[in-house]
Chain A
Amino acid sequence: MTDRQRIAVVGLGTVHDAPPGTSQRMMAAEAARLAIADAGLSISDIDGALDLRRSGGGGDRSTYSDVFTRVLGLPAQFYFTVGRGGAVAGLATAVATGFLDRGLANYVVCVGAVDDYTKAQLTKKQGQRGMAHVEKEGYWGKALGDLRAVSHHSWMASRHMAEYGTTSEQLGAIAVAQRAWACMNPEARMYGRPITIADHQASPLVAEPYHLLDISQISDGAVAFVLTTEDRARDCAQKPVYVQGQGFGEVAADLWWEKKNYTTMAVAPAKQKAFAQAGLSGVEDLDVVQLYDCFTAEVLFQLEDYGFCEKGEGGKWVEAGHTAPGGTVPLNTGGGLLSNKHLGDLTGFSEAVLQLRGQAGERQVPDCEVALTTGHGGELVSPGLCSIHTSTILGVA
């Protein structure tokens, strides 16, 4: 890659608390507006846009796909949807890199927006619980009581418990640590509300072994970021955050009937490529870590699979407090999806950018130069579990 310029994140825009009644398309447009302004650019500079959706190709025209660029008046020369569950930040970055690298765009804005909280309030009135989003038509488990991500993700936790003796309290340690970080983030939903292991254990059982406090937030909001090439990045308003390495892995490559994807994620190939591109020798080179945390066990698996601890030892390791403020690994420092907000699967990516820029306030990790941010998403055919893992190394050096 030596003959190519590095790609940098130059703008970040976040919509945390939109006024009631704000549509997804308005939140997406507003986050994009903020990100462009943050970069010191104007709308007329942006010539490419990516719409980051939960579902692959799920360009819901009536919400904001095909809409937000027009709302904002972006003169984008291309605009399309990237979607695979929680993997969108890594995938969008890779896609945009191609356009920037080939000279097809100078500045690309990537946006994800959600109105899950508002929708959940509406569907409560219809007798439904939790997030409004249900698995799509065609999903095997719908008729059988498998309606939400927690209906099948909790299998991973129970399987890890059965294989390695992991306990619910150990999963709780992940939630407690992230809550402690959230208590240093005034924008986090759970700011000022610390929890203990006892609180975790006392929280309602939703899909056992998962308690409510094992599950990520339901949120309204949006995150946008602007990517450009290194030479242009130097002229932007913020310190450039470079994409130092990227890698992907699919547990589908292990094929679901080989039953590997219930206690591990497809970290190995993703890590190998991303760390090699970034010139990292191992996790000890990371200053801050943002692991995709839709549920607590996903964090546990990734800690093991990246090699922060031995496979099967994650429970004891998190219990020892390594991921809490003051621990050895600053993990999900904004509170993550579990205790900050679930902002269109971009919460961790935006936190990494803030940390690398030195803009993370009270929770700022000192001398933060290298960040790992991961994504996890997509569904295999039934029985369905997320299959893609994305590994993105961001850095300021």
Chain B
Amino acid sequence: MTTETTETTERRWNKPLPNIDLDNKAFWDGLRDHQLLLWTCSTCGTQYWPKCYCIKHENEPYAQNMSWQPGSGRGKIFALNRHHWAFHPGFQDELPYIYALIELDEGPLISTTIVGKQPTDLVSAVGEPVQIVYEDYAELGFTIPRFELIDA
């Protein structure tokens, strides 16, 4: 796997397709523009992912007091595992891969694989700082968010 963020139309996608639905379409559009959007309360600024009502006060109907706003794309590893089995053949070439739960600096949790330099020890990797990397599949019309380790 490459960790470049440049557009690579030749990348093959042989995995399950991401689920893009009414609630998260804007989020996936943001990834295509290389932005990690977080669902943000215009009243108090609290950020969420995925889309939901703000828990801190009364909301407008259909959470219209909230909108998708860019986040920092930085966070730290909250929990992780290393897959040694491919449960779907499309992941065979990536084995073993680190699948991590990331605690974003803004608070929400999001999960994906770690690309580039790989954590060696699963326990000491908890708390390691990471940032988002965008993996484009232009022909398919989506961008997959990955994360990579960065220096603190």
* A-B complex is real: yes
Query: What residues make up the interface of A, taking CB atoms closer than 8 Å to B?
Result: 126-130, 134, 137-148, 151-152, 154-159, 161-162, 204-210, 255-257, 259, 262, 381-383
The reply to whether B19 and A140 form a contact with Cβ atoms under 8 Å apart is yes
The reply to whether B99 and A257 form a contact with Cβ atoms under 8 Å apart is no
The reply to whether A383 and B85 form a contact with Cβ atoms under 8 Å apart is no
When distances are taken between beta carbons in the complex, the residues of chain B under 8 Å from A256 are 109
Query: What residues make up the interface of B, taking CB atoms closer than 8 Å to A?
Result: 15-19, 21, 48, 50, 55, 78-89, 91-92, 94, 96-97, 99, 101, 103, 107-113, 122-123, 126-127, 144
The reply to whether A138 and B81 form a contact with Cβ atoms under 8 Å apart is no
When distances are taken between beta carbons in the complex, the residues of chain B under 8 Å from A154 are 81
Complex CA gap A156/B55 in Å reads 25
In the complex, how many residue pairs between chain A and chain B have their CB atoms under 8 Å apart? 124
Complex CA gap A208/B85 in Å reads 10
Complex CA gap A158/B79 in Å reads 6
The reply to whether B21 and A143 form a contact with Cβ atoms under 8 Å apart is no
**18 examples of A-B residue contacts, CB within 8 angstroms:** A128-B87, A137-B19, A143-B19, A145-B15, A148-B87, A151-B99, A152-B101, A162-B79, A162-B127, A205-B82, A207-B82, A207-B85, A207-B99, A208-B83, A208-B96, A208-B122, A209-B81, A262-B78
When distances are taken between beta carbons in the complex, the residues of chain A under 8 Å from B127 are 162
When distances are taken between beta carbons in the complex, the residues of chain B under 8 Å from A141 are 99, 111-112
When distances are taken between beta carbons in the complex, the residues of chain B under 8 Å from A139 are 19
Partner among B78, B79, B94, B103 whose Cβ is within 8 Å of the Cβ of A145: B94
- For residue B124, which residue of chain A has the nearest CB? A162
Partner among B16, B55, B87, B111 whose Cβ is within 8 Å of the Cβ of A129: B87
The reply to whether A383 and B122 form a contact with Cβ atoms under 8 Å apart is no
Complex CA gap A143/B108 in Å reads 20
Partner among A134, A158, A208 whose Cβ is within 8 Å of the Cβ of B84: A208
How far does the Cβ of A379 sit from chain B's closest Cβ, in whole Å?
13
* A129-B112 CB under 8 A given contacts A146-B99, A155-B80: no
When distances are taken between beta carbons in the complex, the residues of chain A under 8 Å from B50 are 140, 381-382
When distances are taken between beta carbons in the complex, the residues of chain B under 8 Å from A143 are 15-19, 144
Complex CA gap A142/B48 in Å reads 21
- For residue B17, which residue of chain A has the nearest CB? A143
Complex CA gap A383/B109 in Å reads 7
The 5 closest A-B pairs by CB, nearest first: A127-B89, A155-B79, A162-B126, A208-B82, A147-B87
How far does the Cβ of B60 sit from chain A's closest Cβ, in whole Å?
20
- For residue B84, which residue of chain A has the nearest CB? A205
The reply to whether A383 and B144 form a contact with Cβ atoms under 8 Å apart is no
Complex CA gap A158/B83 in Å reads 13
